[in-house]
């Protein structure tokens, strides 16, 4: 499909609390290098900055990032700050707290509730902002989230955070957090080959309650943080051929078809892939094509 004139508004919009965003956004993790936020080779700084600026030119107004997205010589937050500050008024930047890496890049023990203020302030410092639009509590294996979520709610009340979300959670965690403060978005791993009953239930609950559902690794599949999968299967290739699209675009389009509350945050450091990802928001799949892709999703459960 032609990508030259397709912008993010082709996918429609959704509201994150009182903030309206296009349903196709941008994930910043891959800006830091070939091994994502691990200690791989550093990315080309100028190309990463150009990708961010081009994303905004294409109508992207929702960027997902985190202070722990860094590799040798590269920090996603610093790249965003350098590329886009002073920030457009309509740009929504979402970040995650909970996981922690030391300065050597090694993963440390999951944050305690009292640590989260420091995590929020580090994101503020790196991004050069006085508040964060959306902060996800990324669950790090703990059974309960109320205490951690309550610490973030206090920071929201103090004006450091505008809206709160959850990441890597189940339906029970959502209900637990909602008893503390409103949840505007849930971010879980989800895609054609990442079907889990609890996540399907969470997708349904979010739709019923007007909460954004924001899948990560929707294109990467089993490649996860290593990069996009090459194992697409014949159903994906057939739909791609029918539309003159790439398999990655079909994966993104299928994800967006899961409900009007589903947002996409594909990440890339490649300008060409960026344009393809944004253009995927304009891909309209037929009922038969969706049935074929849904069968792949079921088989891969």
Residue located via tokens 């969470």? 202
For residue 87, the 8-state DSSP code is: P
Tokens of 252: 């993104």
Sign of CA pseudo-dihedral 179, 182, 187, 190: positive
- Residue 39 burial (10 A CB sphere; 0-12, 13-18, 19+): middle
Report whether 228 contacts 248 (CB < 8 A). Answer: yes
Catalytic residue set: 69
Report whether 94 contacts 100 (CB < 8 A). Answer: no
What is the C-alpha to C-alpha distance for residues 101 and 208, in angstroms, rounded to an integer?
Answer: 36
- Residue 44 burial (10 A CB sphere; 0-12, 13-18, 19+): middle
Report whether 226 contacts 35 (CB < 8 A). Answer: yes
What is the C-alpha to C-alpha distance for residues 40 and 3, in angstroms, rounded to an integer?
Answer: 30
């Amino acid at each position: 499909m032609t990508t030259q004139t397709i912008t993010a508004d082709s996918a429609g919009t959704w509201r994150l609390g009182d903030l309206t965003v296009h349903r196709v956004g941008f994930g910043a993790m891959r800006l830091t290098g070939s091994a994502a936020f691990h200690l791989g080779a550093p990315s080309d700084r100028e190309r990463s900055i150009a990708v961010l600026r081009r994303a905004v030119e294409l109508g992207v107004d929702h960027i997902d990032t985190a202070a722990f997205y860094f590799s040798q010589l590269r920090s996603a937050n610093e790249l965003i700050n350098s590329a886009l500050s002073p920030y457009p008024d309509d740009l929504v930047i979402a970040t995650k707290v909970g996981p922690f890496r030391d300065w050597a890049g090694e993963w440390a023990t999951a944050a305690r509730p009292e640590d989260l203020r420091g995590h929020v302030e580090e994101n503020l410092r790196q991004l050069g902002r006085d508040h964060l639009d959306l902060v996800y509590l990324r669950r790090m294996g703990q059974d309960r989230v109320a205490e951690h979520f309550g610490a973030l709610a206090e920071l929201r009340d103090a004006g450091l955070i505008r809206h709160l979300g959850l990441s890597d959670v189940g339906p029970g965690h959502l209900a637990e957090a909602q008893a503390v403060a409103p949840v505007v978005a849930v971010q879980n791993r989800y895609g054609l080959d990442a079907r889990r009953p609890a996540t399907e239930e969470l997708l349904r609950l979010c739709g019923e309650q007007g909460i954004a559902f924001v899948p990560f690794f929707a294109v990467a599949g089993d490649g996860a943080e290593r990069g996009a999968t090459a194992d697409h299967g014949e159903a994906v290739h057939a739909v791609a051929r029918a539309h003159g699209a790439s398999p990655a675009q079909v994966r993104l389009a299928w994800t967006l078809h899961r409900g009007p509350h589903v947002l996409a945050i594909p990440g890339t450091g490649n300008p060409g892939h960026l344009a393809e990802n944004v253009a995927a928001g304009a891909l309209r799949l037929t009922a038969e094509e969706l049935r074929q892709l849904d069968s792949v999703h079921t088989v891969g459960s």
